[in-house]
Amino acid sequence: MKRLLLRTRARLRDAAKPVTNVAIGALTTGLLRTTRYFDPEKTARFFGHAAHFIGRRLREDRIGRENLTAAFPEKSPQEIEEILTGVWHNLGRIGAEFAHIDRIWDHDPKNPDKSGRVEFSARSKQLFDQLRDDGKPALFFAAHLGNWELSPIAAAAHGLDATILFRRPNIEAADRAIERIRAVNLGTLVPAGRDAPLKLAQALQRGQHVAMLVDQYLTNGVPVTFFGRKTTANPLLARLRRQIDCPIHGTRIIRLPDGRFRGEVTEEVKPVFDASGQVDIQGTTQAITDVVEGWIREYPDQWLWLHRRWR
């Protein structure tokens, strides 16, 4: 009898899934369209508070707390809660800002001193211009930190020819709604999949720049140490570097007060080589992970702690 009930529940869930997906897709489309009619900063503040109110009641809140406690054993429970509050506010703000993603980037390279939402350090600007203009391929990595959705906008807005790896939402209707907004000038988008490594390698061979997020946990990834704990990470960027001789740089968009951002490009992250002279996949992935950890330690409330990072 119990087995029959379980099978019936599974069938009902499968039957309801298409209807649920359509509803979520319609809600996503409507929310994104509606948000575009309101002031970006006021909407971002509202979404931040809403995400915090709702998020603290979800299982992801517990996951985030456990991750933070594991990463920062020296911090008090109060400090952990303060960071987690910032995480939810940052996530909510990203949701609101995504609806305005085609017009939120207002940095004018011809007038760098002009007041706006975005600023760059002189060194980041120098590195960016050099990488854009040298006619050579390069690999860029980013993390789920600050507003990571703005990095492709920054590249396209300032003439950097980039091919970007991204992961599609699981719900097709929501994917279409998000893709329509991402269809603004974001460079070439390559969805994650079996043929993605080949497409990215081909882009590098054509002299383009390739960018991807690298901070996700990957079950069959290579072993790395992250915040003093063993985990596994995606080795794709290191494998591409083994195929194509090109520099590796990190990039991040940090959230500042008053709805502003700071764009940064790191110095070149040198790959690690093995005894045979080839790029060491595990060592290079660890070098990249170390940079990401340093970013997160600097701005822990701007990283996405809400998914399992250690198993």
- Backbone dihedral angles phi then psi of residue 237, each to the nearest 5 degrees: -65, -40
**Band (8; pLDDT cuts 50, 70, 90):** very low
**Band (226; pLDDT cuts 50, 70, 90):** very high
Quick one: pLDDT at residue 27? 43
In 3D space, the residue among 78, 58, 53 whose CA is nearest the CA of residue 68 turns out to be: 78
Contacts of 36 (CB under 8 A, 6+ apart): 99, 100
Residue 19 · residue 26 · CB < 8 Å: no
Quick one: pLDDT at residue 222? 96
Quick one: pLDDT at residue 183? 53
Contacts of 229 (CB under 8 A, 6+ apart): 70, 71, 310
CA distance 120 to 232: 32
Question: 256 forms bridges with which residues in the sheet?
Answer: 260
Half-sphere exposure of 50 (CA within 13 A, CB side): 11
Q: What does the mean pLDDT of the chain come to?
A: 83
Q: Which residue, chain included where needed, has tokens 């960018």?
A: 211
**Does residue 269 surpass a pLDDT of 80?**
yes
**Band (43; pLDDT cuts 50, 70, 90):** confident
Q: What is the pLDDT of residues 124-141, one digit of tens each?
A: 999 999 999 999 999 999
DSSP annotation string for 63-95: HHHHHHHHH-TTS-HHHHHHHHHHHHHHHHHHH
Residue 97 · residue 36 · CB < 8 Å: no
In 3D space, the residue among 4, 15, 252 whose CA is nearest the CA of residue 127 turns out to be: 252
Q: Which residue, chain included where needed, has tokens 């702690």?
A: 305
Q: Which whole number is the average pLDDT over 46-56?
A: 90
CA distance 69 to 301: 13
- What angle, rounded to 10 degrees, do the helices at 281-298 and 236-243 form? 130
- Of 8-22, 67-81, 168-182, which one has max mean pLDDT? 67-81
**Band (254; pLDDT cuts 50, 70, 90):** very high
The residues spanned by each domain of the chain are 1-102, 109-298
Query: Which is higher by pLDDT, 283 or 13?
Result: 283
